[in-house]
Structure 1
């Protein structure tokens, strides 16, 4: 019975470590997301649309992100992505919107990246600087279309469900939080305010450094793996001690 208990202890530790390692190896949720997922109302921010490739037999060759027209953004600029071309389209708004920069009648409606390739097991990030973000609004939804080399188009356009559950094809969502009274421009550099009567600013590329939201997750995953390894070593030493 003593030997059985010792063997069960080692087996349990090994199983826990195996499960932990497998859990760390699991890929992130395979849909288009926006990172970081939150920003302050009334400010400027820089985000990255993260696009993973979900197909084993096709590559992602085009990404189209739609921008809101009910809460339009006066300033939108994109960071060049090597190997990809980008097209920023402006369109007339359903109705003019009054901003601190004057009346806004046109705004960016879509940004399309094409010409590149996201292969099997890969992802790409497409960075955008934008603002000012609306106030009194809890979130902005960015419906996104992902086109594969075989012609398939996946429409990530489902808004968050009221009950908090995730829809089948969730759209990237930027959560907006009340301003804290600090630097309203956030991580991005705000464009200079145009003088009265001057034309609306044009869309220009920015070269801000890419941020990463994976650091904390990797740190926690590494800590969990270390705990599992320690548990296995302890169980092994206990088995040797009792055997002696």
Structure 2
């Protein structure tokens, strides 16, 4: 009988650890500043990039967001979608290497976008939409280094990049993959833009967070199911002995 109880305790411990691991992983994954969609075709035109900024602090609000655009592979024709409660400032810089387009040679491009004046509270996020005229054709990805400033003065630097296919760094920069040929991500960007007006300054109750929550719940339920099966097996075996 003591062996049976020990087995049940082990099963319960495994279940608890599994559930805790799933929940912790989901929390870490959702705390990063990210760019959506995750990919676009090289040289894509007239699209939208959405920078999702979640607040990962319980006692402070996000009050400033700075997104730095690469100028070695510039994003052309940047326009910022108005965001209620926030003021956006776009900084441009002269390009070291001008870009030739069908409309002429481009010598300047946006290098930084800063949003101030608003607040992102605990358990909330804001989607900042940025329209572009054309993406570069001569690189496989774009990293948008981002600084997130909180009301208590803390600054989180989302500037790190994975090296050589290694593990994701602690504070990864939002990264957009650029693919060859047609890409199906463009329609997703339009959908994100239309949904953004409804989801602005949203709590985790929005569809994206709901989907993550359902996925986590499914994994936890699966773990509990395995524990229940182990319990039944052990109890039946104990009864027979």
TM over 0.5: yes
* Distance in 1 of aligned mates of 2:18 and 2:83: 35
- Whether 1:77 aligns to 2:79 is yes
Residue aligned with 1:175, SS: strand
2:202 maps to what in 1? none
| Closer/same/farther in 2, CA of residues 14 and 110 from structure 1, 3 Å limit | same
Which sections of structure 1, spanning at least 5 residues, go unmatched? 190-205
Corresponding residue of 2:231: 236
**TM-score, normalised to structure 1's length?**
0.75
- Match for residue 176 of structure 2 among 146, 166, 174: 174
What is the CA-CA distance between 1:133 and the residue it aligns to? 1.7
Which residue in the other structure is 2:12 paired with? 14
The alignment status of 1:119 with 2:121, answered yes or no, reads yes
Residues 36 and 213 in structure 1, CA contact (< 8 A), matched pair in contact too: no
CA offset at residue 175 of structure 1?
Answer: 1.5
Query: Quick check: 2:37–2:185 contact (8 Å CA) kept in 1?
Result: no
Equivalent of 2:194 in 197, 202, 208: 208
Between structures 1 and 2, the one with greater helix share: 2
Question: Quick check: 1:221 aligned with 2:221?
Answer: no
- Tell me the CA shift for residue 117 of structure 1: 1.4
Q: Residues of 2 paired with 1:183 and 1:23: CA distance? A: 33
Q: 2:35 touches 2:176 (CA, 8 Å); kept in 1?
A: yes
Q: Paired residues, what number?
A: 225
Instruction: Say if 2:159 and 2:173, in contact at 8 Å, map to a contact too.
Output: yes
Moved more, 15-24 or 212-221: 212-221
Q: CA RMSD in A?
A: 3.1
Partner-residue secondary structure (3-state), 1:58: coil
Counterpart CA distance in 2 for 1:5 and 1:92 is 74
Which secondary structure state, in structure 2, belongs to the residue aligned with residue 209 of structure 1? helix
- Structure 2 residues not aligned, in runs of 5+: 200-206
TM-score, scaled to structure 2: 0.76
* Aligned 8 A contact 1:79 1:207 in 2: no
Task: Name the residue aligned to 1:201.
Answer: none
Separation in structure 1 between the aligned mates of residue 121 and residue 174 of structure 2, nearest angstrom: 21
Asked if the contact 2:40–2:185 (Cα under 8 Å) also holds between the matched residues in 1, the reply is: no
